Structure 1
Amino acid sequence: MSAGESLTARMRGLLRTPARPPLWVAIDPQRVDRPLSGGLLDPRRDYFAVRINRLHLGYEREWFTRYVPVVFAATEFSHDGTSTVAPAMVGPGLIEQLGGATPVGTVVADTRVAGPHPVPPEGVAVSVVLYRVEKEQLAQAFLDVVQSAAGALDLAAGIAPFTALAKVVVNGVTALVGGDQPVLARRDSFAPVTPGHYALVDDTGAVDPADLHVEHGELAQRVGGGLRPYRASDYVLYSIEGVPPTAVDLARLPLYRLWQDVMGQATTAVSDELWNGTKAIMSTLVGLLYASPDLTWEHARMLEQDWTQTMVTLREAAVRRAHLADDQQRPDMARSRALAVLDL
């Protein structure tokens, strides 16, 4: 069993059956006030991200008095030919910071738990689990370590270190929740990948899925002729969204250091020999662009064109500066020779 498969098995161990099966609803885009743009995501062109849009906690469960919430999310997909799990944890500290206890519950909004990553051809699977942990049993220092590990996950650093940190997160969540049943738990596969909103609801049988909408980033229910925020029970609203290439942090990629070298050499490549050396490094960089598992093919093509033009522009500026320096030196040399006559 590979490291990725072992991690997947551990992660799925957290998906124990809740005491009551939750209601899962794919919200029709026509029932979303700000629907996510785009149709099917193209693996050659598009990036995806998974976001927890809203977590509502029913006040009747004694949240933050007897229990604290722990949300675990995991996104499974292929990266560099390897099965990968991107785990994330939203702990009570972040929930209180973004939401805060209110008479009608607590919310946490717009927390990205995966991505941006290139869309894999075989699709993705998303697991969302809401646990309640006895407040007196919570080890805050241990929780902080797990949350820090989750925040440090970065596939661009390589599969091996990523998997090691991912195991820390999964094992840490397992230790935190112990053998407790989750309040909500669900795993779903999306192939092909389409942007959309999905709700996981601790349903009491009082809501019709066709009446659920997304309004102002939270779940709403149609009652009579209008919409009102859904407050009847706990729920997690999450989404899969397309992400533009501009959202990808290129500076975190290993190949970006090589691009910095190209720029540095292009600014001094005034001779043909230096320029040929710069172009040779750029040729290597182009190969890395298309081979990178963190970039789509279309994004790599765009970067090749943009970076090549930038390299040429930097070199042309270097040559102009060199010619300007030569032009400034000629009058100085003539003036020096003329003044030298006075010393005869």
Structure 2
Amino acid sequence: MRLKSFYGANMTEAMRQVREALGDDAIIVATRDDENGGVRVTAAVDDPVLSDSAPSRRPSSVDTVDSESIDLIAQALVAHHVPLVIAEKLLATATQYANDDPLLSIGAALDTHFKYAPLYDETLVRPLILIGPPGAGKTLCAAKIATQLTLQKKDIAVISTDTERAGGMAQLGAFTRLLKTDLIEIEDPHALRDAIGMQKNGTTVIIDTAGCNPLAEADRQYLTALIKAANAAPVLVLPADLDVHEATDMAAAFQKMGASRLLPTRLDMTRRLGGMLCVAYETHLPFCHFSASGKVTEAPQPLNPVSLARLILPKKAEQPARAKAQY
């Protein structure tokens, strides 16, 4: 399967180009208005180089179902404002795995083009430090993670470096008191190193940091010093509703400071996930979990190919073809 984009002043012009270049067998997988005016059409056609060695075609009814599945995926990617380069790659891979369940097809594509690393893999041997811009939701995520681990009967230590923000320490302190856990306040990297060294073996250390302006050199230097002092696993907490270009630049800056995983927040307030996908695609940061609630009792959810596919596809579109096949 080969995908290609065509541009025209209108749909008729774009479709004429599709037919001339790919022939009558071309499949339209996505259409959208071009940012420079006109229409952009993405079309697919079987690659003749692959066709000779490919297995014989399945019955046309199955092909129709598969085509409907890919069309649903294409519509979802357009609705989420997924950048064209990423959408084309996802569609190409989803087409290779096309079947009557679009969830499986897009899940396979997301598994191919994005990385994933569970949040708790390293926390038993390395502290978990949450980093990100101001207002990203780091303190709430720290409280959620602490709550989840406490419910799992894990030993935890909660440390905050957010000593300057009004109310920041009080907010996290209120949560830790409910968990019957002390909140350790530190003001410099040396104190952070000592606080971590005081913990007994097997304790999961969760570190909440102050919001960092990635454009300010002083902020970058201080956060980098904290990460090195803690020998921690840095998780970038980033709102999913930021401007895509700003978010990508921010993520790249935090990655240089040591960010190793991406935890998107505000998914309950975000209807378009194209920006989040762009951040992960451009930086190659693995997804770990996501937060979709302002309630501390609702833990961050694992973000893997299947859960990400469910976030992208509308619920009613997950298995429409399978439902049709029953009649």
Question: TM over 0.5: same fold?
Answer: no
Rg (Cα) greater in structure: 1
Higher relative contact order (CA 8 A, sep 6+): 1
TM-score, structure 2 as length reference: 0.27
TM-score, structure 1 as length reference: 0.26
